[in-house]
Amino acid sequence: MRIKLIVPLLLITIAFTATTKANNKAETLARQAVSENTNESTKAIANLRLMGAEGLRALIDTYQADIARYMQTGKQTPQWLKIANALDAVAMQKDSYSSHLFWHTDFEAAKAEAARSGKPILSLRLLGNLNEEFSCANSRFFRSVLYANDEVSKIMRERFVLHWKSVRPAPKVTIDFGDGRKIERTITGNSIHYILDSNGQAIDALPGLNAPVTFKNWLISSEQLSNQLKSKSYVDRVTILERFHRSRINQITNDWADDLEKTGVKLPKEIAAKRNKNPSAMEAAPLALTKRAVEIDILKQITADATLLEANTNLDEWKKIAALHANDAKLDKTSVSMIRRQTMNNDEGQFSKLISNLEGFIALDTVRNQYLLRTKLHAWFVTGEGNDLDRLNEKVYAQIFLTPDSDPWLGLYSPDTYTAIDGGGIIKP
């Protein structure tokens, strides 16, 4: 009896000792990551990065008091800048002190982690790099509006493997006022989040900036879809995915029509006839698999209702629809606090207006992304475009974001436009 008790106790002791050693090592590396010795800090950061999310957690735990102090005061002391640099280098995300998110930049490593954990992959494609200040506008908003949101970041951290990949550098412009003052900004550029199952297969996508509630709900539904696909045969997967994306097109077009009616817009007669007969009648007709070759006809058919609604929704109507969903775009206290630190704005009236304007912009962007862009994406998934993620992403940037690889200037320069500047103002490297 005594021997039986000793063996489990011995195993527990060994496990505890190993865990303690690992924790001590991680804490030591966390201390070294902000060392004045550049070689030491660089090596420590690299080792913490290799530890994955645990390495980031060690940094956050070690400098918890410093993080809390910065979040309260916003003071960028030399010590804080070293801590923030270490955090962002390990997380591979700018402002990771607020999100606590660890991102893979090696896709194979992300797939390996997904296969090990059984979690789906949330893969971001963007212009620029997520760990740099001047990534594209969408990804900068993601960091403050979505990733800093307490509920959203918790879901991302606990239920997804995170990955990002840069599509191309983000174009940057500097405006020099000639008196020493300058404004630096990135211009143009969109980002898109993909959900991949644990095998790395794309199953859904969400383009552009979306409201926190919308993004959170999308993450939850995508996780459910990923779980539904586990251990299914290829034929069953195709059937489940096609049914899912068709149902989403149906839901989106019905929601769109509902919103237009709420704003007083008269629906196109083709849409009105369907809704008079059945409020949920705007449903894409089933298509035989043998018809997949005629992709353009399929796409026209399953997005016909959305096309009609698009033609009847002008900018004023979009703003009215956005107002219907204003609550979804409300920012949580963590995001608001982060924005205050970034803007250093202590004028309460002015800051309140800034937040209100931002929430209005997010609401408008969300409804346009949901109704205009997602219907196209769902249709592409129906026709099998999700089978090749890189090819799908090229199509997204070319046909949805209108910034194809074939245009090195991202639409910012055209030889047909006269600028009255020698060489069109182009400076080549």
Q: For residue 425, is it within any domain? A: no
Residues 365 and 231 in one domain: yes
CA angle 392, 394, 397 (to 5 degrees): 110
Task: Determine, yes or no, domain membership for 17.
Answer: no
CA torsion angle for 198, 200, 203, 209 (degrees, to 10)? 100
pLDDT of residue 334: 96
| Highest-scoring range by mean pLDDT, 13-27, 103-117, 287-301, 373-387 | 103-117
Question: For 254-286, how does the pLDDT look when each residue is reduced to its tens digit (9 = 90+)?
Answer: 999 999 999 998 888 888 887 766 555 444 444
**Residue 92 predicted with pLDDT over 80:** yes
For residue 331, tell me if it sits in a domain: yes
CA distance 127 to 114: 25
In a domain, 315, yes or no: yes
Output the CA–CA distances (angstroms, integers) from residue 335 to 98, 142, 342, 399, 421, in the order listed.
9, 10, 11, 32, 42
- Do the beta carbons of residue 111 and residue 165 sit within 8 Å? no
Q: Total domain count for the chain?
A: 2
User: How many beta carbons lie within 10 A of that of residue 94, not counting itself?
Assistant: 23
Residue 384: pLDDT band with limits 50, 70, 90 = confident
Do 79 and 218 reside in the same domain of the chain?
A: no
Q: What is 243-304 written as a DSSP string?
A: HHHHHHHHHHHHHHHHHHHHTTPPPPHHHHHHHHH-TT---PPP--GGGTT-HHHHHHHHTH
pLDDT in tens, 343-362: 988 889 999 999 999 999 99
More confident residue, 135 or 407: 135
Give me the CATH number covering residue 374: 3.40.30.10
Cα distances from 27 to residues 314, 338, 351, 405, in angstroms, run 56, 27, 39, 44
**Average pLDDT over the chain, rounded to whole?**
87
Residue 156 and residue 60 share a domain = no
- Which of 415, 369, 418 lies closest to 396 in space, CA to CA? 369
Same domain? For 261 and 183 the reply is yes
Residues 32-64: tens digit of each pLDDT: 999 999 999 999 999 999 999 999 999 999 999
Measured between alpha carbons, how far is 406 from 64 in angstroms, rounded to an integer?
46
Residues 233 and 176 reside in one and the same domain: yes
**Least confident among 76-80, 161-165, 196-200:** 196-200
Same domain, 258 and 393: yes
The per-residue pLDDT for range 205-242, each reduced to its tens digit, is 999 999 999 999 999 999 999 999 998 999 999 999 99
Are both 185 and 63 inside the same structural domain? Answer: no
Quick one: 363 and 389 in the same domain?
A: yes
Distance of CA 117 to the CA centre of its chain: 21
Domain that holds residue 334: 92-407
pLDDT of amino acid 87? 98
**Which residue, 91, 111, 142, sits at the end of a domain?**
91
Residue 343, class by beta-carbon neighbours within 10 Å (0-12 exposed, 13-18 middle, 19+ buried)? middle
Task: Determine the pLDDT at residue 344.
Answer: 86
pLDDT at 336 over 80: yes
3-state DSSP assignment of residue 163: strand
pLDDT at 275: 73
| Residue 155 in this model has a pLDDT that exceeds 80 | yes
Domain boundary among 91, 107, 133: 91
| 298 and 291 Cβ atoms separated by less than 8 Å | yes
- Hey, is 234 helix, strand or coil? helix
Whether residues 112 and 71 fall in one domain: no
Task: Determine the average pLDDT of the residues in 401-417.
Answer: 76
| Domain match, 79 and 129 both | no
Residue 28, domain member (yes or no) = yes
| Average confidence (pLDDT) over 285-298 | 46
Residue 18 lies in a domain: no
Neighbouring C-beta atoms of residue 162, cutoff 10 Å: 25
Token duo for residue 48: 């913490």
Same domain, 229 and 82: no
Determine, yes or no, domain membership for 412.
no
174-200, pLDDT tens digit by residue? Answer: 888 888 888 877 777 789 999 999 888
DSSP letter string over 354-404?
A: HHHHHHHHHHHHHHHIIIIIHHHHHHHHHTTGGGSHHHHHHHIIIIIS---
Sign of CA dihedral 412, 415, 421, 427: positive
**Boundary (domain end) residue, out of 68, 91, 114:** 91
Residue 11's pLDDT band, with cuts at 50, 70 and 90, is low
166 strand-pairing partners:
126
Task: Write out pLDDT tens, residues 249-259.
Answer: 999 999 999 99
| 46 in any annotated domain | yes
261 & 367 share domain: yes
